Structure 1
Amino acid sequence: MGSKRAIGYARISPTSERDQENTSIEKQTEEIIKYCEVNDIELVQVYEDYLKSGASFKDRDGFKEMYNRVLKEEENIDYIIVHKQDRLARDTLDTLFVMKRLNSLNKHLISIADNISTEDPRNKLIVQILAVFAELERELISFRTTNGMERKAEEGCFLGGKITGYKSENKELILIPEEAKIVKYIFEKYAVEKWGYKKIAARLNAQGIKTKNGKEWTVNSVKTILENEAYIGNSKWRGKIKRGKHTPIIGEELWGQKEQVMQIRSCIPEKIHPGSYPLSGLLKCPQCGGPMVQGNSNQQYKYYQCNKNKNSGSSVCLSNLVKKEYAEVFVLNNFLHHLKDKVSASAIYSVTQSILDYELNPLEKAASNLSKQLEKLQRQILKIMEHSSDPDINLDAKMIKSQLKEKQAELNKVETALTDITKQIELKQNESIMDIIEFSIKNFEEFYHTLSDEEKKIFFHSVIKEVHVTQGKKTKERRIKDVIYHFDLEELNNIM
């Protein structure tokens, strides 16, 4: 096998019926393998993204994994090979970014169908042109798709998605009687009997009824049903309501009753629970393992509660309440124990100093440039003033005044910027950083209590991965079992 190594990449778009170049994954892979065999290149692996758009790299896990592997020096990858350039990206800037990064590392892009390799400098311009055409084609596809959907919306056609109570056949909504009964049940319980979202969800779950996606009912899934105008026979597209072609499930009268209840309830102020719940999402329910969130607390009793129980009722999971104050004090003390006993101030200082040194260099360069600009402006002002006093030149007084005013404004702006950067440099050169770090570690608990509610939540979520709770029949029996950090605080010293 050849001394050159390559990784292949294949992608198929989700808009296969509109993308004429949407060659199958299998065909793209076959062409990549054949190319490597003919050109004596070792093909390490072919990464794939199935039904992923080329508009950006977002959500393209295959591309990300492939790209990161290519950049690793120890892999010794020489090429990324694609069947066609637009399989890599349909955005010009994305393509140019990848190409520039590869070239900087002496790695290259090969597009088989386009017969180009960036190893040849003459082909780099061709890649740029192809990237522009790929982006234009993407925009054209988007334009055609949007226009088509707008036309269908005007006609009241179904535009896709899953709707409880219906199934889609030939892009038309067909009624499912069993599911339609569930929809009617939800509307009647809410509009006529004045049940809340949670009570409806809990009752459906207790009866073993699942959502369209086979999951438990939640507050949000019930609310989504109640807000969907498809159930009175309407079709909605980009905020515009049209009469649909499908059979309604709910009558106008029941829909009107539902609207009245929603309007009345929107005017009732929500129950505000005092204090914040910084461990929301971090605490894990001892029964289902899901996140625990703010419970139905009051001024005197505050708890964390299983999120599934809160949204879907006791048939899905029990509340498994944990006292708020106990949980937060325990977790904070656990962190303080690790911080004081296992994290050294000198290790933090070493990392902090490295970061500051890295940041100082550009700041010092910026300060130097601003000082030069300042000197230049001062010389220009002096020169204007010299000319103004020279009787042989006889310059207009208004013009001189205008020029001096303009230069002085520039001078003031540069002086302000230089002062700001100088302060930043002085702060980063502060010799008492070690004292500050030692003081912060020693007095972290006092510092924590000065944080806002939101800052406390950000702090806990940045250092803690999850908090496990023991099972217990009563609230007082549930205790914190262990705290799992995003990193091992003991190992942190060794790394630093």
Structure 2
Amino acid sequence: MKDTFQERSIALYCRVSTDEQAREGISLDEQQERLKAYCRAMGWSEEPLLFIDDGYSAKNLDRPELNRLLKEVKKGTISKILVTKLDRLSRRLLDLLKLIDMFQEHNVSFISISESFDTNTPSGRLTLQVLGAVAEFERERIRERVFENMLHAARQGKWLTQSPYGYRLQNKELVIYEPEAQIVRNVYDWYLNKGLGYYAIAKKLNEEGIPSRQKKEWSIRAIKLMLTNPVYKGTLFWNRMDSSKSKRVKKDDADWVVLEDACPAIIDQATWEQVQKRVNKKQMAPRAQTSPHLLGGLLKCGRCGSGMSIGWSGSAKNRYRVYRCSANKNKGTCTSKQYRADDVESWFKHGLLKLADSINSQMIPHLIQKAAENEESTIEQKIRTAKNRYKRKVEAYTAGLIELEDLNEEKKRMEQIIAEVQKTENASSVDVKKLEAMVKEKMNNVIDAIDVLPVPEAKSLIKTIVEKVILLDEKDIEIVLNIQ
């Protein structure tokens, strides 16, 4: 079997900078002669290829002849690379290891004759492993220093990356950029008050010719990121994601850096919280949102609770739309019958009118109770999260991983969250008349829109006030309101 190394060429790499030649008397001719003599001593009779960089520093790898050598390595034409000393290739250990990794990937031996370093021998590979361990330690120390500096800057309220849409950076601090900030406000309003979803908002912005920061079209992902970014309520979050691995993962929330009121807010706190409630609620399928049928995605079967899908019935000359229980249609597990869609939508409109007329001060306590139950669950979650964060910080302090100052900061943060929650609970008295007026206004807007707007737009408005519609029987429907 032929030795594949012998079918390829030996490369001699020589380098000298002007300063080195003047200071140390290192010449290119001397390097070439020593390398050729080594080849003769090893019995390698073939004529080697020369790669000579004259007057180039080893501080970086951007050198003409080195670049040409690396191209030949990638082509597979080189078997061995010889240098007189390791620093001829690079003076930086990390760069040196990076090049050696490439050589090994292409089955190329690397030999430095002064240090008796040959990656094709056991001792050479051992030396390489030691150098690699030192380099890894150096990388970790650099990473630690960078992290500590960035952590300090973040705690001072400095913004550490590219400014988000709606802001500009001045002295590493965020300032509102009004032309974009107004777009952010519009997006929050369309999502919360107009009932538009991510897709509909992205489409609307693109149709209006409003570019994103990168001058590209808006996407569903970009809209969701905007609606969930806490910076818009003035909160700075940093160190949430671990980017050291190939796939970014969310870190434990105890490791996050969180600063409230760290930058000017574009969206008020109450609006941002309401948007998060809707974001975290199970969303209607995109297909249902754009369905040309008024109750698509909203209508539920009164017998089994499954969604009711649209279909067609009747003869070829007399086809009509019907709503049918999905469990009945797909599984046969429900005995619900199908209903004419026009009839169901008519019952819904009539029921919504009756509901709007009957909204009064007596119904409001029921709505308040429902909202309070949701709010109580949210409050408990906030307190539980804050206490868990503090508990983990105590464990980290006990293990000597953080300083007492960090622990005290976390304690203050937990106490602040609990105090704000208690303040909210104490001020939880509701203006019944104001809530009644708000509910009536929303319902009247929906009623007015149903027969005027296209179905997808009317449905978006319906979703701002109606959580679901339950079809119990002929002319018997239940409308569940969604009051935030």
TM-score of the two chains, using structure 1 as the length reference? 0.38
Q: TM-score, normalised by structure 2?
A: 0.39
* Bigger-Rg structure (1/2): 2
